[in-house]
Chains A and B, each alone.
Chain A
């Protein structure tokens, strides 16, 4: 009961936020003087041609009116068509977003167990190993993703020649058809994700280990794996999940960069291409979709943290 009300309230909040943020995205791309007209008509178009294009794209109407009609269409599942190639934005989303989600899922599968192990180890042991891993994570988190990717390319693709440099996916196929093409993108994203997640988990574990509850368990002679699995992890999981979901934004950014390094056919690559081509409807549609995905992840994280937190209260 309680949980339903909680989810309902959060859902309403997320919906309001999505409307506000989509308006902000719309404003930044459409109201401000980005010259969508020259992008479509060409720079050397005459004034008459420019006026025609402006009317054809509906850019002669006030911005608020354009946003209202765009939002109404979006609610019906129509995000408009891109200026370049007249592709429907929803079609691009439908073909590219699954590829990006696959990348995210594989990264999560690699990162979550490793980060849990490292976080538990460093958070409980402390000392030199803790400092080494923490400093390593700090260093790794500071380096831009594309630099990590470039170094991995230098070692694995150029020097050792074990992995392909770009993720070429055959037309009409999915990335799963060429698992080797997925290796470098997943490896790069996992390195970044591991650095972030380990630091957060370490803090949660250290906090949980300092609670009287865990102190009592330790005094009762519980230690090692049993202490970690039965007492620390359930208590650290709630805060850790919450902290991790807050880094989703950063990981979405990382994914955009990594997709661009490896020419991976995901939504981030498409977004960058749209920005480079000044394809305003495509940028608006993809950016809004990404924000919606992020809000969904945050909501999911909140619910998970609440469920885990409830369990913690039972434990006491």
Chain B
């Protein structure tokens, strides 16, 4: 899991950094863009229906079926093209929900009195004890077959970390001299929030959202693999791996193709988020 906060401390002196670290991450950025576009636009390019049984199971790739057929004789290429959209959209929705919840809760906890804020963080910590996947599994048991439940579970599992990070960030701003000055000259708390706090925690919030997106993608793909959320025959890279791994000795493409796409997606997004955290962390230091 990737809920480990990246260290903001840079223990190596500046001279040790090679210039290559500062190059904008063009390759990783292009890779991310490519695979996300592939996932979102892929369904339009699918040659066959992704759910239709067209031939015998586990046929080798040929001219008709570019990547062969899967465990039920469906076209792997069509399913691969169609199977990424749900993952990307669910992960984005989960991240957006978690970001909104974490942001409001974090800022609220920082603006509230010390005791109330501590209490809120205590509650959030209690939620963070639950393994993320356990939340997904339990909610999936409560709401079988619901895609919304997966989004809610992803948000619930990742929001606690955001709340902590953003409360700490907002706290730093709120205890700074210029906020004290603003409050002393009679600015309202709302004005302080809008003009002082929010612009100053935008950087940490962005980094935090990026790290949450990595975790969300991870969870969403895993939920698909475990057959949670929208069930049935709908294509999903995670579920394709679980469907086709038992036939691994018969045909490799049906599970390797979605697996490689998931590797590409998570690695690119992960590296991009790590780079973002490094850059902003360095800017703040």
Contact = CB atoms under 8 A, between A and B. Distances in A.
A21 B127 CA distance: 8
A179 B170 CA distance: 52
B52 interface: no
Counting chain B CB atoms within 10 Å of each CB, the highest count among A34, A206, A210, A254 belongs to A34
Given A247-B4, A283-B137, A143 B267 contact: yes
Contact of A157 (B221, B248, B267): B248
A150 B144 contact: no
A251 B1 CA distance: 8
A110 interface: no
A261 interface: yes
Nearest to A34: B142
A257 B222 CA distance: 8
7 closest cross-chain pairs (CB), A and B:
A142-B270, A250-B1, A253-B133, A249-B131, A32-B142, A206-B11, A252-B131
Chain A CB count within 10 A is highest, among B137, B227, B262, B267, for: B137
Interface residues of A, number: 66
A256 B133 contact: yes
Interface string B140-153: 11111000000000
B176 interface: no
Contact of A142 (B2, B137, B142): B2
Interface in B139-181: 139-144
A43 to B, nearest CB: 12
Nearest to A291: B130
A119 B143 CA distance: 42
B16 interface: yes
A21 B126 CA distance: 8
A142 B137 CA distance: 20
Contacts of B133: 252-253, 256-257
A115 interface: no
A253 B4 contact: no
Interface of A: 17, 20-21, 25, 28-30, 32-35, 126-127, 131, 135, 138-139, 141-147, 150-151, 153-154, 157-158, 165, 196, 199-200, 203, 206-207, 209-210, 243, 247-254, 256-257, 260-261, 271-272, 274-276, 278, 280, 283, 287, 290-291, 294-295, 298
Q: Which of A142, A150, A154, A209 has the most CB of B within 10 A?
A: A142
A250 B126 contact: no
B7 interface: yes
Interface stretch (B75-83, B93-101, B252-260): B252-260
B249 A272 contact: no
B12 interface: yes
Contacts of A196: 1, 4
B214 interface: yes
A261 B1 CA distance: 17
B258 to A, nearest CB: 9
A153 B226 contact: no
B228 interface: yes
A280 B138 CA distance: 9
A142 B262 CA distance: 10
Given A250-B3, A260-B226, A144 B262 contact: yes
A256 B218 contact: no
Nearest to A260: B226
Contact of A28 (B139, B225, B226, B228): B139
A239 to B, nearest CB: 11
Nearest to A27: B142
Interface in B201-241: 214, 218, 221-222, 225-228, 238, 241
B61 interface: no
A25 B11 CA distance: 42
Contacts of A243: 4
Contact of A154 (B144, B242, B248): B248
B263 interface: yes
A244 B126 CA distance: 17
Contacts of A261: 242, 245
A196 B218 CA distance: 14
B132 interface: yes
B142 A28 contact: yes
Contacts of B114: none
B269 interface: yes
B227 A276 contact: yes
B255 A150 contact: yes
Given A144-B222, A154-B248, A295-B129, 15 more contacts: A28-B142, A29-B141, A34-B141, A34-B144, A141-B4, A143-B266, A143-B267, A144-B266, A150-B255, A206-B11, A250-B3, A256-B133, A260-B225, A275-B226, A290-B134
Contact of A158 (B131, B142, B144, B252): B252
B73 interface: no
B168 to A, nearest CB: 16
Contact of B269 (A29, A126, A142, A199): A142
B209 to A, nearest CB: 15
Given A126-B12, A249-B131, A142 B249 contact: no
